[in-house]
Amino acid sequence: MAKKKKFEVKQRKRRTQEPVPASGMPVCIAALFCEQVVIGGDQRLTLVNTLDTINLPPSIHNPGEAIEIAGARLVILLKRADAVGVHELEVSYVSESGDVDPVGLLQPSFPSNDPPETGYNYYAPIRMFWRGSGLYWLQIRHGKKLLAKSALRLRMAPDPLSGKIPG
């Protein structure tokens, strides 16, 4: 007579997806300022009126004060290229005086099965620290590597009553 085998249920270990280590580097194909971003039914972005100079209404801002520029947007367009995993991209502005003000951190995740030309789009209101009228350089960095740089000049409009430019 055949010997009966004891049926044993073994608990299987659950497979969890390990985070993919970041490798490669994304490519920034555009870092622009515009008045409006329109998103079409196909999820494509249309930028309305790109900007390199913004005339701000007369008001007093203190140096180092965080400001948001009404009616203007920052748009960053990335391509996966050979990037895989989660990458940290630091967004900062550099004023004419050389002050570097970090304003955000993008953390895009690039799946390895996406084609290299896959696009990742980010847009947000323009937020920065006030360092006075003048030229500001937007910088996007991946570690110590500069991925993109774009210029934005801010001008204060004269006060309508006195004709003087504040600050």
pTM above 0.85, yes or no: no
Asked whether residue 14 is assigned to any structural domain, the reply reads no
Asked whether residue 2 is assigned to any structural domain, the reply reads no
Number of structural domains (the chain) is 1
pLDDT value of position 110: 94
Asked whether residue 47 is assigned to any structural domain, the reply reads yes
Mean pLDDT of all residues in 67-83: 96
Percent of the chain whose predicted confidence (pLDDT) is above 90? 72
Separation of alpha carbons 72 and 78, rounded Å: 20
- Burial letters for 4-32: b for 16+ Cβ neighbours within 10 Å, e otherwise? eeeeeeeeeeeeeeeeeeeeebbbbeebb
8 A C-beta contact, residue 79 and residue 117 = yes
Asked whether residue 7 is assigned to any structural domain, the reply reads no
**CATH code for the domain of 59:** 2.60.40.10
Separation of alpha carbons 23 and 64, rounded Å: 35
Asked whether residue 102 is assigned to any structural domain, the reply reads yes
Asked whether residue 11 is assigned to any structural domain, the reply reads no
Residue 102 has pLDDT above 80, yes or no: yes
Asked whether residue 126 is assigned to any structural domain, the reply reads yes
pLDDT value of position 15: 47
Asked whether residue 20 is assigned to any structural domain, the reply reads no
pLDDT value of position 9: 44
Separation of alpha carbons 102 and 90, rounded Å: 7
What's the domain range around 56? 27-156
pLDDT value of position 58: 78
Residue 35 has pLDDT above 90, yes or no: yes
Residue 7 has pLDDT above 50, yes or no: no
Separation of alpha carbons 151 and 140, rounded Å: 12
